[in-house]
Amino acid sequence: MINSRKIIQLLQEQKTDVQEYKALDGITIECKLSEQHKFDLNSFKQYIKEVLYKLNLPSALVEQNKEMQNVFIIQFPDMIPEYTDEEVEQVIKDNLSMLVQLITSNSMGHVPDKDTLRNHKGMLVRDAVTMYFKGYANQYKQTEEDYIGNLQEFEKYNKIFDKWLLDVKLK
């Protein structure tokens, strides 16, 4: 299973010159170097290319942040990120909880009950999956319809909702 979060774990184990990594989506990583490291774009590209090759990872595009000279973006446009079922389930559950928090804050503190959430299951699942797609997929090679339009996958997301609804504690 390979995705930007797994690549970050592998890069952190290498003790690279990067101070901080952040997954921006399933194929994109932001790398922040300490101020003492003065890489220009070409030297960082070469450096990261060598590290990725050493780890047997796919090649990547590298860009430098326009405002912050010590921040670089690494992107793997040909990679289809993969996640375990447990990772997908946790992300969908987290997204559902975030949606309920948004609903609660937008309705002046009124917390929906479980029956209301169950009645809006389709909308909540679709929104949670859309959030998952935007944060974890390769939007160059995949579409939102790959996630929402696939009936078998959507059934899996509905089952995750049912499990989440049993476990969620509404305030």
> Does residue 80 fall inside a structural domain?
no
pLDDT band at 167 (very low <50, low <70, confident <90, very high): very high
Answer yes or no: do 55 and 118 share one domain. no
pLDDT average, residue stretch 55-62: 90
Query: Of 24, 40, 75, which residue constitutes the final position of a domain?
Result: 75
Residues 51, 104 within the same domain: no
Q: Total structural domains in the chain?
A: 2
Mean pLDDT taken over the chain: 89
Residues spanned by the domain of 62: 4-75
Q: What is the pLDDT of residue 145?
A: 85
CA separation, residue 138 to residues 42, 81, 133 (Å): 25, 7, 8
At 63 the three-state DSSP class reads: strand
pLDDT digits (tens, 9 = 90+) for 25-55: 999 999 998 877 777 788 888 888 998 999 8
Positive or negative CA dihedral for 90, 94, 100, 104? Answer: positive
Residue 68: pLDDT over 80: yes
pLDDT in tens, 96-117: 999 999 988 887 768 788 999 9
Considering the domain architecture, whether residues 92 and 36 belong to the same structural domain is answered as: no
